[in-house]
């Protein structure tokens, strides 16, 4: 495991663990990294100092229980608010993934039962929904889970 200091194009810094340097590169090239604060997909490595284990014969390892990025310091009020919003959305709405545009339009037209949903849409799809009178709101985070 390897820990990298990362930054997004908005200047937010955070740390995250990766299985290897190659795993980081694959995730970065595939667009699978996002900022833990604003959700920006433009994430790159930040300048960082090497970590040296206190006992050189025992290499440092990632925390076993965490899959979330390790942030520096305590979370800010904005980070706490975004985390609370994420929790509320995930508890009360159905994740529909890439099918968001179709399902939102069907709900708006009365072709599907009204219910809270969230998912993913390209900017042109979101503009089309708004032009058609569909109420939507961009979320300040990316979904944690993908549809199976």
Q: Does 37 fall in a domain?
A: yes
What confidence category does residue 18 fall into, taking pLDDT thresholds of 50, 70 and 90? Answer: confident
What confidence category does residue 21 fall into, taking pLDDT thresholds of 50, 70 and 90? Answer: confident
**What is this structure's pTM?**
0.50
Residue 95 has pLDDT above 80, yes or no: yes
Q: Does 147 fall in a domain?
A: no
Domain that holds residue 39: 1-72
**Residue (of 44, 57, 48, 148) closest to 98 by Cα position:** 148
100 and 48 share a domain?
no
What confidence category does residue 148 fall into, taking pLDDT thresholds of 50, 70 and 90? Answer: very low
The whole-number pLDDT of residue 118 equals: 94
55 and 5 share a domain?
yes
Report, as an integer, the average pLDDT of 130-139. Answer: 92
* Whole-number Å distance between alpha carbons of 135 and 132: 9
Q: Does 78 fall in a domain?
A: no
Residue 128 has pLDDT above 80, yes or no: yes
Q: 19 vs 146, which has greater pLDDT?
A: 19
52 and 109 share a domain?
no
**Residue (of 45, 50, 42, 41) closest to 14 by Cα position:** 45
The whole-number pLDDT of residue 125 equals: 94
Q: Does 65 fall in a domain?
A: yes
Q: Does 139 fall in a domain?
A: no
- Please tell me the chain's helix, strand, coil percentages from 3-state DSSP, rounded to the nearest 5: 30, 15, 55
């Amino acid at each position: 495991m390897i820990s990298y200091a990362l930054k997004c194009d908005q200047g937010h810094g955070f740390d995250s663990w990766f299985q290897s340097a190659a795993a980081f590169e694959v995730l970065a090239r595939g667009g699978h990294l996002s900022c833990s604060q604003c959700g920006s997909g433009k994430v790159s490595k930040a300048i960082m100092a090497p970590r040296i284990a206190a006992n050189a014969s025992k290499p440092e390892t990632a925390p076993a229980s965490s899959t979330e990025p390790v942030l520096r310091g305590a979370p800010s009020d904005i980070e706490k608010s975004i985390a609370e919003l994420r929790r509320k959305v995930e508890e009360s709405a159905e994740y529909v993934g890439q099918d968001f545009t179709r399902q939102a339009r069907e709900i708006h037209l009365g072709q599907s039962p009204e219910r809270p949903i969230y998912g993913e849409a390209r900017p042109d799809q979101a503009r089309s929904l708004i032009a058609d009178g569909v109420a939507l709101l961009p979320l300040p985070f990316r979904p944690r889970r993908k549809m199976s």
